[in-house]
Amino acid sequence: MNVLDIAGLSKSFGSRQVLTDVTLSVPENCVFGFVGRNGAGKTTTMKSIIGLLRPDGGEISVCGERVNYGSGRTNRFIGYLPDVPEFYGYMTAREYMSLCGRVAGMNTGEVRQRTDELLGLVGLSDEKHRIKGYSRGMKQRLGIAQALISRPRLLICDEPTSALDPVGRKEILDIIKDAGRQTSVFFSTHILTDVERICDRVAFLEGGTIALSGDIEEIRRKRGNTAVEIQPEHPSDAAVIAEQFASGEVREGCFVLKNASAQDAELLMQFLLGRHIPVIRFERKEPDLEDMFMEVIGA
């Protein structure tokens, strides 16, 4: 069973069409990467999922129940982490978690147990300071804990790592990956390396629609765009190689041949040896998400 199904979702604001026929599914026990450039419509999609925006067309279902604008009924299945979570700064993490648990209708014993479990997960068990003194990364960690308190079937994270330093990003990604063992995660981002690190499946949102989606490893196999990149000792030699292999291109003093087979790599090596072209680096690069995304957006 899928925890999230979106079919034909469309949304416009005035004359600006933001989403057009967005269709995707998030299965159970999955960390799903939702990738798009800033302004691509990712947040609009997520606000539609939690019933805060009325779509112009299409249907959204969470755990088999249809989402209706303004109802909030399906939100009992959802935990939500906005890109900039807000808290009551005068509270401690435990006080805030207790408040969230009571709002969710949990009893005192359950709230205490779940708070201990989740603050341990996000590394805030021993934090006694008030939230107003927290760093951005600490607030993101607390945001994940509160989003998980009612054991949601679907955790939605809106750009959770976009404003964090490398250490903070690693901490949040590790937590989200761990959270994926408890629930399905819908992880919105424009940082492709984050998706490669923790996601099982991915969908690329471009031009208001889904340009490519599926299992990450399966997409890599299907696209098959292994490239060969050669950095000659003398940058001018990149153009010499390009004259012989016209399907390649010169980039910043390097020669790059996309969709290169093993035979292409062998021919390139023979050419370099035959012309005595000294090389600093000869690399076969497996396709990564950045390559695929740039291909999708035509960059």
Are 180 and 279 in a shared domain? no
Going by their DSSP bridges, the two strands 184-189 and 31-36 should be labelled as: parallel
pLDDT at 80 over 60: yes
Cβ–Cβ < 8 Å for 121, 171: no
pLDDT value of position 224: 58
pLDDT value of position 288: 65
- The structural domain count of the chain equals 2
Mean pLDDT of the chain: 89
pLDDT at 223 over 70: no
Are 237 and 148 in a shared domain? no
pLDDT at 299 over 60: no
Are 180 and 230 in a shared domain? no
Nearest CA among 173, 189, 175 for reference residue 83: 189
CA–CA separation, 169 and 174 (whole Å): 9
Are 210 and 228 in a shared domain? no
12-67 pLDDT, tens digit each: 999 999 999 999 999 998 999 999 888 889 999 999 999 999 999 999 999 999 99
CA-based radius of gyration for the chain? 23
Instruction: Look at residues 169, 193, 220 and tell me which one is the last residue of a structural domain.
Output: 220
CATH no. for residue 167? 3.40.50.300
pLDDT value of position 222: 63
CB-based burial of residue 86 (10 Å sphere; 0-12 exposed, 13-18 middle, 19+ buried)? exposed
Out of 22-31, 57-66, 85-94, 191-200, which region has the weakest mean confidence (pLDDT)? 191-200
Instruction: Look at residues 199, 220, 241 and tell me which one is the last residue of a structural domain.
Output: 220
Are 88 and 212 in a shared domain? yes
pLDDT value of position 187: 93
Are 190 and 228 in a shared domain? no
CA–CA separation, 264 and 130 (whole Å): 61
Q: How many other C-beta atoms are found inside a 10 Å radius of the C-beta of residue 179? A: 25
Q: Which domain holds residue 88?
A: 2-220
Label residue 140 by pLDDT band (50, 70, 90): very high
Instruction: Look at residues 163, 189, 220 and tell me which one is the last residue of a structural domain.
Output: 220
pLDDT value of position 91: 95
pLDDT at 94 over 90: yes
Tell me the pTM.
0.78
- In Å, the largest CA–CA distance within the chain is 77
CATH no. for residue 286? 3.30.70
Are 190 and 259 in a shared domain? no
Are 49 and 145 in a shared domain? yes
Are 26 and 166 in a shared domain? yes
